[in-house]
Structure 1
Amino acid sequence: MQYVLIDAMTKLAERSAATMPWREVKQWRPFSIDALGLVTLLGADEVNKALGTLERRRYTEYLPFLAAYIVAGDRFADEQAGYSLYNITDGITTTELKSWFTRWLSAQKVLNATTIFRWQVSEKPRQIGAVDLVAPLLSFLAVAPLLIFTVLMGDWFGFGNACAIVCSIMVRSFILWQRRRALDSDAAPKSVPVPTMSLDDEKLPNFQSGPHLPDTTSDSSLASVKQLHREQSAPTMEDTVKMLVTRADGKMVTIYAPRRILQVFVREATLPRPKLYHAARYCGWTAFGTQMCILGMSSLLTQIYTVVLLVFSTWAMCHSFSFDIGRRTSTRPAKDGSSSEYIETHFGTKLEVEQENPRHGEGGGMDKRMHAYVRLQPDSKQEAMLKHWSMLPFDGVPWYDDFHQAKETYAARVAGSLSKSSLSSASSQHSSLAPAK
């Protein structure tokens, strides 16, 4: 029985070999796929860090880059560990910081502990100017030759590669625009509806029985006074909040920001068009897969041009040049009269951030966390919270001798700087009022 079964299987295999042209299928090679398309997978970490900051670039905004699947897969929106935020104004600490904020913070060149960031919402949104037309013009000048000579040569694989590049640029522009617009919408001031009273609900005071003062000793009066005090002392969205943020590399920065901006640091911004956002991601995956498959089948000139363009554009974008980001650097006196470097940057259309780097001279002896706490000027309650979070040592250690001395020195320098500024302003006013001889 066993031999009969083996004989039947042998005849079936011979019949299949006779009816199906397996040899022709094996030799069927109308085209060849080169491994050059794997180049598009390189540079993923650099692109992830650069795109995740959501900073708008003046010149490299629309240039193609490597690892386009970072955008299609939404990899740049993954949260990072190792960051902690300490809100000493409200007594809140959290490690759940949003991806754009941690990537933006890690991309900034900061000091060890004394760098200060001041966030604010601009009253006038940034308007589109002539400089915003440079980025699309550079993108056109970089990609247009690839489209033209692939058509002239009849290199249709190369033409498909160029179309995939254009599609990737459009997908990336739309996704970043959605992310930035979501941040602007959440950080913008929200309109609060004002309650209105109808004529029937409006009650006029009754003066027939003469003036009557409320009894402050009654329970209702005490409750109303407590409620009024609670409403007046309640925090508002315009209050400036003091925060300390520790990065994954151990460096600490100080942040001043209005309370209404805090939600964009710790909460996911709501996308304006979530369905279109996901549809754009699908298009991005299609463009990335197409380019990865057909880049190796295009002509040699197309391959060289594409690789050089992608590598150079990725390097320029990931380097984050100051002129590309739009940073404005200046040097002026700080609050205590010392010299500091200030870097101003527009973030989106409504957010602005100012970075202050105190100049401590050679050695950097003043660039310690103790001096960051001194510049923060915390009160007794805030110092107690810092001790609870293990940001400050417990009482009874010699460290506090230097800390109290540094606080006194800083307060004296601030007072001296204020007196000098007031004297200079008074002398300038006196000179302007003096009659000319």
Structure 2
Amino acid sequence: MQNDTHATNLSISDSLLYNVTIVASRIISSTLENTTSTQASLEPWDRVRLFRPFQLDALGIVTLLGATQVDTTVGALSHRWLIEWLPLMGAYVFATNQFTLPINHGITMYNVTEGVIVTQFAGWFARWLLIQNISPAGTNIVFTPQSQQPTGRLRGGNPLYNFGLVLCLYSLPVVFTLWVRDYWGLVNTVALLLSVLVRVFLLHANRSGLDAQVRLCNSRLSEGYRELEYMSTDDQVPARLRLLRTCRCLLVFQDGRRAYLQVPALHWRACMTQTPPINQPAMYALMRAIGWLAFGMHVLSIGSSCFIIQVWTVVILLGATIATNCGFGRSRFRRKETIGTALQATFDQLTLASTDQVDLYAAMQLDAQEERKMAEWGLFPPSVDIKWYSAYRKQKAFYTLPRRKQEQALATQSQNYEQHRRNMKERKRTANADGEIEIPLMAGREDETTIDGMERGESSRLPSATSGSFRALYQ
């Protein structure tokens, strides 16, 4: 009896398992048939839209990455050839106007002409200094107001090239999204285009504000010079006309690099310590609102776009951001760079790396009062360091020479050095041939070039023949 009951239970369980298996197989086969029939009935554009070899999750975070780097590089207001119209990551920094605010830069400016120490700069100027290629030996930077607009790459390249790049970059994804009927992808592409237009307008507005301040300072300089022409030599110069002079400033960066800055006093006060005002504040606020709208559209649409549009968006955002942060399209290693259209910076990299900064300080051509200020600020060593001050005075005497004599001194130094190396090589060969002690070849020595007033034999530490450190002062 028990065996019959057990057999009955097994038959019931086997039957139930069999039925479940049959139902599951029918469901799977039905699903596969429906999928196959659906795939067969899809149009080509639908297949492209639904193509998704793997899932890209958390794409919205792409809109937040790289904001700090974009804020620093783009906020410097430098022109960038070809990539002015490319979309960048962290586009919300333009909607918030964060790229114009002062930042913690870690740079100290010693204005030795006016005797002040400045640590707070205009937002664009602090960012501009941070992205410069400052030499460890020192860099001379001369700011010159311009009366004519720059051309070529100094102002961002040819506008036709930029327009052609925009046309090729955005027309293809727009046509593609319309063809595959990916309307989320179309919204994503339009959002990127809007964010670029907003950024271009905001940068143009800030550059125009800087240009207006520079031209205002230029007009004040012209008026001041005309007033000086009608003053006699016995008249005392008014305090307002002292702003006509050029400020000599020493920039000390957080990592120890130093730069020598020359800029007219009027422009230094109006453009570099204060943020220039915007000419059209109402339109500026409207474009910022459009920037917020574009940012929201981009966040909502990128995750729902088709796979191809998602990949295109990530590649173009990442590539343009990396190129911008690396300085592509900007005259980074050129001797001249234009900020806006009315202010030009000229660079002169020193080639003599020294820990005591003798060459850089000598190039500044400080007077006695300015040297006392440098000593009070702790930038000059104590007066007991006779060796340092001797080298400093000789270098300073070199920079006071006319340019022709400087070139002659450099040429003489180069000839003497080459003759010295030839003599040492000949002595080395002679010593080896005679079996004497080998004389090591010296890598260099202090030159004994005579320079008007310097006695022969004194250690005159002159710049190398490739150094152009004096050129910025005599252009």
CA distance in 2, matches of 1:368, 1:393: 9
What's the counterpart of residue 419 of structure 1? 405
Amino acid at match of 1:325: R
Kept in 1: contact 2:138–2:259 (CA 8 A): yes
Residues 351-360 or 169-178, more deviating: 351-360
1:286 corresponds to 2:313: no
Match of 1:131 in 2: 158
The answer for the alignment partner of 1:308 in structure 2 is: 315
The answer to whether the Cα contact below 8 Å between 2:75 and 2:100 also exists between their aligned partners in 1 is: yes
Q: For 1:43, give the aligned amino acid.
A: G
Matched, 1:252 2:233: no
Q: 2:67 aligns with which of 8, 26, 44?
A: 44
Q: Which residue of 2 aligns with 1:173?
A: 200
Asked if the contact 1:33–1:293 (Cα under 8 Å) also holds between the matched residues in 2, the reply is no
Number of residue pairs aligned between Structure 1 and Structure 2:
341
| 2:79 paired with 1:93 | no
Distance 1:150 1:385 in 2: 66
Question: In the alignment, what sits opposite 2:369?
Answer: 381
Q: Is structure 2 residue 338 aligned with structure 1 residue 352?
A: no
**TM-score by structure 1 length?**
0.72
* Partner of residue 187, structure 2: 160
Letter in 2 for 1:250: G
Partner of 1:373, secondary structure, is: helix
Aligned sequence identity (%): 26
Alpha-carbon distance between aligned partners in 2 of 1:98 and 1:33, rounded to the nearest angstrom: 41
Aligned pairs (5 A) from 1:168-207? 168-188=195-215, 189-191=217-219
Partner of 1:325: 330
Q: Unaligned stretches of 5+ in structure 1?
A: 1-31, 195-223, 330-342, 424-437
Does the aligned pair in 1 maintain the 2:133–2:333 contact within 8 Å? Answer: no
In the TM superposition, residue 346 of structure 1 has moved relative to its aligned partner by 1.9
How far has the Cα of 1:284 moved from its partner? 0.7
Task: Indicate the residue corresponding to 2:360 in structure 1.
Answer: 372
Q: CA–CA distance in 1 between the matches of 2:399 and 2:111?
A: 26
Cα offset, 1:357, TM superposition: 0.5
Q: How does 1:111-130 map to 2 (within 5 A)?
A: 111-127=135-151
Separation in structure 2 between the aligned mates of residue 61 and residue 382 of structure 1, nearest angstrom:
42
Q: Residue type matched to 2:142 in 1? A: R
Q: In the alignment, does 2:131 pair up with 1:145? A: no
* Structure with more contact order per residue of length (Cα contacts < 8 Å, sep ≥ 6): 1
| 2: CA distance, partners of 1:290 / 1:244 | 46
Deviation at 1:136, TM superposition (A): 2.4
Alignment partner, residue 441 of structure 2: none
Read off the aligned partner of 1:378 and give its amino acid letter. Answer: L
Q: Deviations over 1:291-340 (max 9, x none)?
A: 1111101111111111111111112222112xx124574xxxxxxxxxxx
Query: C-alpha offsets along residues 184-222 of structure 1, whole Å, 9 cap, x if unaligned?
Result: 11112454598xxxxxxxxxxxxxxxxxxxxxxxxxxxx
Q: Which amino acid aligns with 1:297?
A: S
Q: Is the 8 A contact 1:119 1:351 kept in 2?
A: yes
Equivalent-residue separation in structure 2 for 1:131 and 1:248 (angstroms): 37
SS of equivalent residue, structure 1 residue 228: coil
Q: Which residue of 1 aligns with 2:388?
A: 402
Would the aligned equivalents of 2:365 and 2:396 in 1 still touch at CA under 8 Å? no
> 1:33·1:294 contact (CA, 8 Å) conserved in 2?
no
1:269/1:315 CA distance change after superposition, 3 Å: same
2:99 is the alignment partner of 1:83: no
2:140, 2:261 within 8 Å by CA — same for their partners in 1?
yes
Instruction: Pick closer, same or farther for the CA change 1:420–1:41 going to 2, 3 Å.
Output: closer
Flag the 1:326–1:394 CA change in 2: closer, same or farther, 3 A: closer
Structure 1 residue 75: deviation in Å?
2.0
- Structure 2: state its 5+ residue gaps: 1-54, 224-230, 410-475
Contact 1:54–1:180, Cα closer than 8 Å, also in 2: yes
Task: Kindly provide the CA deviation profile for residues 398-420 of structure 1, in whole angstroms up to 9, marking residues without a partner as x.
Answer: 2x432233322441465375437
Structure-2 residue corresponding to 1:104: 128
Specify the SS of the correspondent of 2:236: helix
TM-score by length of 2: 0.66
Opposite residue 365 of structure 2, the aligned amino acid is: Q
Note if contact 1:119-1:257 (Cα within 8 Å) is conserved in structure 2.
yes
For 1:383 and 1:390, locate their aligned partners in 2 and report how far apart those are by CA, in whole Å.
Answer: 11
Contact 1:158 1:294 in 2 (8 A): yes
Corresponding position of 2:424: none
Calculate the aligned-residue CA RMSD, in Å.
2.9
CA distance in structure 2 between the aligned counterparts of 1:232 and 1:422, rounded to whole angstroms: 41
Match of 1:219 in 2: none
Q: Which amino acid aligns with 2:343?
A: L
1:18-71 Cα distance to aligned partner (Å, 9 max, x none): xxxxxxxxxxxxxx9952122121112221221111101111001111111111
Determine the C-alpha separation between the residues in 1 that align with 2:407 and 2:351.
21
SS state at 2:237 partner: helix
